[in-house]
Amino acid sequence: MSAADFILERLAAHGDQPSFFWRGDTYDGHWLVQQVQKDVDFLSREGIAQGSVVILKGDYSPRNISLLLALIQQRAIFAPLLPSTLAKSPSLVPLVNPAFQIDGASDGEVVIHKHTQTELHPLIRI
Q: Domain residue spans in the chain?
A: 3-13+26-121
Q: What is the pLDDT of residues 7-36, one digit of tens each?
A: 889 888 888 888 889 999 999 999 999 999
- Taking the C-alpha atoms of residue 106 and residue 96, their distance in angstroms, rounded to an integer, is 23
Q: For 3-13+26-121, CATH number?
A: 3.40.50.980
Alpha helices in the chain (DSSP H): 3-13, 29-45, 62-73, 83-88, 92-96
Per DSSP, 17 falls in state S
Q: Is-above-0.75 flag for pTM? A: yes
Per DSSP, 43 falls in state H
